[in-house]
Amino acid sequence: MVSPSDLVGKRVLVTGASGFTGRYMLKELQQQGCHVIALGAAGAATAAQEHVFADLTDREAVFTAVEAARVDFVVHLAALAFVGHGRIEDFYAVNLLGTRNLLNALERASHAPACVLLASSANIYGNSSEGMLDEGTVPAPANDYAVSKLAMEHVAGLWRDRLPIVITRPFNYTGVGQAAQFLVPKIVSHFARRADVMELGNLDVSRDFGDVRAVVSAYRQLLQQPQAVGQVVNVCTGVGRTLTEIVRICAELTGHELEVRVNPDFVRPNEVKILLGDNGRLKSLIQEWNPPDMRQTLAWMLEAETAKVAPVASD
């Protein structure tokens, strides 16, 4: 018998609800009986029960939307995330100033939330620290996306005494529906299409790859944990996988072999060999969290991708 959730009937505001993580976050919250309100641009389609519309860069529009929503919890996922995005200023407009506008609105709103979860990124640690990184690792952001996320964390610190904020730093994660420009979906797509050749970068670096379903479960449980307020929390598996291993698992699951070519343009100079997350703090805060093994995640993604590319039988 499933125990009733203490989130039943709670109003939860989710920004970025139409994005990759947002779609899974909505499902996770709705399964707990939440009434989910999506905050986003007009026309963005989501499965939320309610929508409020605002551009995060418009301070007063954000306040109007937040005031109307009257929410008990907030999950702030909206961000410009693709590191290769062309307009650098957009990272700061959305990730930094957009977050500041949201926090300002939540402070001014007549209905105070019990928890505000801000999704930062493990990218803030950069590429110079090696091994297993905990929340005390000195940040060394290596691109504008990472700098904007670290700046967002500092801005959130201005509201530390005024709002119940928890900051998460997710490491790499993937799943069905992630855009093809990201690494794991690219590999999965090549196997699903039974391609002959695939170009990748350094095959032997070990990284922490999680599953989006586990990530949103962690976020939801952190909302329910009062002890998480005021903390920065890594969301990660603590297990490293190389690209060579991921390719091998895909080959085993599909029975398809392809040629992997290392493209020098995809290889970062002086890239650290092993970079993983320490999830000790996360596991001390939430009780029921067992992320799927990488093989399970890849099998799920391959099944979905293969179904997309399979020819439709004709009569």
**170-180 pLDDT tens trace:** 999 999 999 98
Q: Is the pLDDT of residue 312 over 60?
A: no
Structure tokens, 242? 């190389």
Q: How far apart are CA 250 and CA 90, in angstroms?
A: 35
312 CB-near residues (< 8 Å, 6+ apart): none
Query: Percent of the chain, pLDDT > 70?
Result: 95
Q: What are phi and psi of 121, to 5 degrees?
A: -165, 145
Q: Is the pLDDT of residue 1 over 70?
A: no
**169-227 pLDDT tens trace:** 999 999 999 998 899 999 999 999 999 999 999 999 999 999 999 999 999 999 999 99
Average pLDDT over all residues of the chain: 92
Instruction: Report pLDDT for 81.
Output: 64
Instruction: Report pLDDT for 35.
Output: 97
Q: Is the pLDDT of residue 314 over 50?
A: no
Q: What share of the chain is helix, strand, coil (3-state, %, to 5)?
A: 40, 20, 40
Mean pLDDT of 105-125: 97
Instruction: Report pLDDT for 268.
Output: 78
Number of domains the chain contains: 1
Q: Quick check: helix, strand or coil at residue 276? A: strand
Q: Which of 60, 163, 59, 56 is nearest to 115 (CA)?
A: 163
Instruction: Report pLDDT for 82.
Output: 58
Q: How far apart are CA 157 and CA 13, in angstroms?
A: 21
Whether 256 is covered by a domain: the verdict is no
**56-75 pLDDT tens trace:** 999 999 999 999 999 999 99
Query: Percent of the chain, pLDDT > 90?
Result: 81
Angle between helices 20-31 and 212-223 (to 10 degrees): 50
Whether 1 is covered by a domain: the verdict is no
Whole-prediction pTM: 0.94
Instruction: Supply the range of the domain harboring residue 296.
Output: 11-241+266-309
Q: Which of 84-98, 156-170, 202-216, 245-259 has the lowest mean pLDDT?
A: 84-98
Tell me how far CA of residue 236 lies from CA of 8, 167, 293, in angstroms. 27, 14, 12
Q: How far apart are CA 9 and CA 12, in angstroms?
A: 9
Residues tagged active-site: 145
Q: Is the pLDDT of residue 34 over 60?
A: yes
Alpha helices, H only, 203-293: 212-223, 243-254, 280-285
Q: What is the CATH number of the domain that holds 161?
A: 3.40.50.720
Whether 84 is covered by a domain: the verdict is yes
∠290-291-297 over CA atoms, to 5°?
145
* Beta strand segments in the chain, E: 11-15, 35-40, 50-53, 73-76, 115-119, 131-133, 165-170, 173-174, 197-200, 206-208, 210-211, 232-235, 240-242, 259-262, 274-277
Q: Is the pLDDT of residue 4 over 90?
A: no
pLDDT category at 83 given cuts 50, 70, 90 is low
Whether 252 is covered by a domain: the verdict is no
What letter would DSSP give residue 265? G
Alpha helices, H only, 32-118: 59-69, 88-90, 99-108
